[in-house]
Amino acid sequence: MYDNTIWSNGKCLTTTRYKSESYVMIYNCETLDSISKFGVVGVWAIHPDSTIRPQKNQDGCLKYANVGEDVSDDTILHVVTEHVMDVKDTIAILPEITVNNYNKRYTQIWFQV
């Protein structure tokens, strides 16, 4: 089902605030709806300019750098640092999302469902 969540290994990309420089994490997708009343952002919109922003507050964004290129590795690349979004510990209850050098690990693969 297309619901504007970004999934990786059964977890969803989320943040707890709409403020600039708030951290992003992954969380169990099935419980996001039940805790969304506490301010957790789990629904994102991918815009024509290739930015990924929360639907409710579109001032901040995650940026996918390879606009117009045929990218088949499904990573999210930071255009300045040339690092990709990565999951630090996939078995943690609230896994931390970091940026690292691209090394083809499954923790760096993201896709939209």
Q: Which of 48-52, 59-63, 82-86 has the lowest mean pLDDT?
A: 59-63
Question: pTM score, two decimals?
Answer: 0.40
Confidence of residue 66 (pLDDT cuts 50, 70, 90): very low
Q: What is the CB-side half-sphere exposure of residue 11 using CA atoms within 13 A?
A: 24
d(CA 56, CA 95): 23
Span 6-112 CATH architecture: Trefoil (2.80)
Higher pLDDT, 33 or 46: 46
The fraction of the chain above a pLDDT of 70, given in percent, is 33
Q: What's the pLDDT tens digit per position in 80-97?
A: 677 788 888 877 777 777
- SS3 for 25-93 is EEEEHHHHHHHHHHCCECCEEECCCCEEEECCCCCCCEECCCCCCCCCCCCCECCCCCCEEEECCCCCC
Where in the chain are the domains?
A: 6-112
